[in-house]
Amino acid sequence: MNLLIRLFITAIVAYLLTKILPGVQFESFSSAIIFAIVLGILNIFVKPILSLFGLPLTIITLGLFALVINAAIILIADYFIDSMVVNGFWWALIFSILLSIVTSLANSMFSDGD
């Protein structure tokens, strides 16, 4: 149940961010739900591989390269979802930063404290 709540929060936050950021668009809220599912799958399977290969750069940049990896994950999700449009790397970077911050805040507000 906790996973479904987190996916729904991610979908809501992503959909609301597209209303603020002109460089990222969804066709509908159902596209945002699909995005949340694809993002979760990519975070499970692809992100650890990218993080492992990018570990030297992450160490050299004191962790800032992790933001680039997050933006790459957003761009990969954009590639797989036809009803989502991201207009370039910089919009993906801004979107990933804001998505991470707001979903972390929202998840901490709605967590049951376990």
pTM for the complete prediction?
A: 0.93
Q: Which amino acid is located at 32 in the chain?
A: A
Q: Express each pLDDT in 59-108 by its tens digit.
A: 999 999 999 999 999 999 999 999 999 999 999 999 999 999 999 999 88
Q: Which amino acid is located at 66 in the chain?
A: A
Of all helices (H) and strands (E), which one includes residue 73?
helix 65-80
Instruction: Say what the pLDDT of residue 114 is.
Output: 54
CB 93 within 8 A of CB 68: yes
Average pLDDT along the chain:
95
Length of the chain: 114
